[in-house]
Amino acid sequence: MSRTVLITGGAGFIGSHLADELIAHGYSVRILDSLLDQVHGAAQRPSYLDPNVELIRGDICDPKAVRYVCHGVDIVYHLAARVGVGQSMYDIVNYTATNNLGTAVLLEELMKRPVGRLVVASSMSIYGEGLYRRPDGSLRAGRERPLDQLKRGDWEVYDDDGQVLTPVPTPETKTPVLASVYALSKYDQERLCLMVGRAYQIPTVALRFFNVYGPRQALSNPYTGVLAIFASRLLNDNPPIIYEDGQQQRDFVNIADLVRACRLAAEAPQAAGQVFNIGSGEAHTVAEIAGRMARVLDKAHIQPQVVGKYRVGDIRHCFADISRARQVLGYVPQVSLQTGMAELAAWLRGQVAVDQVAQANLELEKRGLTV
């Protein structure tokens, strides 16, 4: 028998791919989405959305809309959120309203209508700095880099003795360090869902997404994923802008792998009550990613602009330890970065991107959020 799934914020990049994945496995899908201009441009049903999806335009903060879409639902994926570290540091009200209040509105409805599984999208941003190894081989959490150090252009993370620490994969057990309004709101979403889920016997799973990439990313949104931002610049023959020195390491996970992990999170009985990293388990520098993006778009002659500045809320290194997701969910990444970027490039060649990155960076600079 087909089960009905609600995806909040489901008309965008991740949600639409998740809808495809679920429909392919026999689920019925309903989406609640506000069709935010910054993400969607024209507020209309996206052409890429499967025709079998029931799309309802509404605000996650509106109790009436949430009550309506939750009727008859068996599983809820809570993806609705404002995204982006930089913008969150000055658009505080909107980020807090959507991410924190919106989650509370959803949970108050689910208290009255418990579902068989709630899966909430969290973020790697909650870790702050990732996990590191000291020169003696012991592990320690990376600490926030002092502002005076960053002003000198010294980007590394050090131990108490002044020795450079080596980044290692970050597990779910690392204590969160909330370095931005966005990170704080995502942690709030995660903990609220797990807390209320436990209290009201709603089996709940939190997935900490790392840097997701693939077709359908919002290319004109300057606060989206780094690959889409670089692509937007390159498609307009502008150089990718790289902060610090470009050697910061991140984990880039293909959208096909990520939505498969989302489906597994709803289907694995033992996943309830747990938190999982969803990434590729591999580390790549931001400079490497910019170079790869330029090559797959035949724009290798455009060299990135390394600005040597720090953005408030940024961290040096963080990439995923995915061993828990492998063991409990059966999650195994299948799309290599090379294959995924080639697929992304093929999609990008048919797209128009409005490059608003420079304007977004100026917004940060005039507010003193870059040093």
Catalytic positions, written as ranges? 182
Burial class of residue 68 in the structure, from the number of CB atoms within 10 Å of its CB (0-12 exposed, 13-18 middle, 19+ buried): middle
- Residue 231 contacts residue 348 (beta carbons within 8 Å): yes
Angle between helices 102-112 and 63-70 (to 10 degrees): 50
Q: Count how many Cα atoms sit within 13 Å of the Cα of residue 212 in the half-sphere of its side chain.
A: 31
Helical segments of 126-178, H only:
147-151
Return the closest-CA partner of residue 120 out of 299, 280, 278, 230.
278
Return the closest-CA partner of residue 274 out of 260, 287, 284, 264.
264
Return the closest-CA partner of residue 304 out of 315, 288, 320.
288
The amino acid sitting at 86 is G
**CA 56, CA 49: separation in Å to the nearest integer?**
12
